[in-house]
A and B are shown apart, each in its own frame.
Chain A
């Protein structure tokens, strides 16, 4: 299965590098979408069919944490996994990301292996969850 991925970062260069690194990691991507900040990301999330969001924390207008908080208020968007890709790696900040509902975080600088391992784990868990939900639904139907 290939996933549609939204990359949110105010730096064009960093968005390009994240996409290049995700591709190099071997993680299966259907289509990439770009956003400059949380506000722009929300517009794209409400227009397109996205499977995963990779977002920076420190951005003008709406930061990565605010983006997660907005997504969690939306019944459709709240199930999309969000991974913080950030230089902000203090314990407190990471705890704040996870409390807000981030699926995980990737610290900049990163390697393709780190990205692949995290993304495969997150999407694997999501598919397992969906699989178990489907199985239980089938059980009820039966």
Chain B
């Protein structure tokens, strides 16, 4: 499996989902770990979500987004005012973003393969962010949209 092909699929999926369903222009930023991007993590109101997947290769797909950015995305997704979105709507939207991007990534990467996706769950940011590049095969994509930064991390099982 080529890391480059998987990275390309991750980026294509992110672009498709965020542009098509959230009407967000986006740019891919310099590759940085979540720990570098958000040194104090959940103290800054960061939301970390993860989804386990199994298929020709298995692992975990993670999504990191600051709470205020998640509120903006939720408002755009539901067509509501940012001030009116509830914490439950924000939580569900964040999970749905990860679910769509993960499913779409694998469809783009290999449309003939079957990947089984788990249900997205909120995770402890500290446990995920401490994953060092040498500890696992992983892909990290940092996305800048308007004034927001979010990140996706795909960690493959050994």
Which residues of A line the B interface, CB within 8 A? Answer: 10-14, 16-17, 20, 58, 60, 86-93, 107-111
A108–B103 touching, CB < 8 Å: yes
B5: interface (CB < 8 Å) = no
B119: interface (CB < 8 Å) = yes
B107–A89 touching, CB < 8 Å: yes
Given A87-B103, A90-B112, A109-B16, 11 additional A-B pairs, CB 8 A = A13-B74, A13-B92, A13-B96, A17-B78, A20-B78, A88-B103, A89-B107, A91-B112, A108-B17, A110-B21, A111-B20
Which residue of A17, A90, A92, A93 contacts B77 across the interface (Cβ within 8 Å)? Answer: A17
Which residue of A11, A92, A109 contacts B114 across the interface (Cβ within 8 Å)? Answer: A92
Q: Which residue of A lies closest to B117 (CB)?
A: A58
Name B's interface SS. helix
Number of A-B contacts (CB under 8 A): 72
A90–B113 touching, CB < 8 Å: yes
A92–B103 touching, CB < 8 Å: no
Contact residues on B (Cβ < 8 Å of other chain), bracket:
20 to 34
B79: interface (CB < 8 Å) = yes
Q: Which residues of A contact B29 (CB under 8 A)?
A: none
A90–B114 touching, CB < 8 Å: yes
B141 to chain A, nearest CB (A): 17
Check A87/B104 contact, CB under 8 A, given A12-B88, A13-B74, A109-B16. yes
Q: Which residue of A lies closest to B51 (CB)?
A: A58
Q: Which residues of B contact A10 (CB under 8 A)?
A: 119
B99–A58 touching, CB < 8 Å: yes
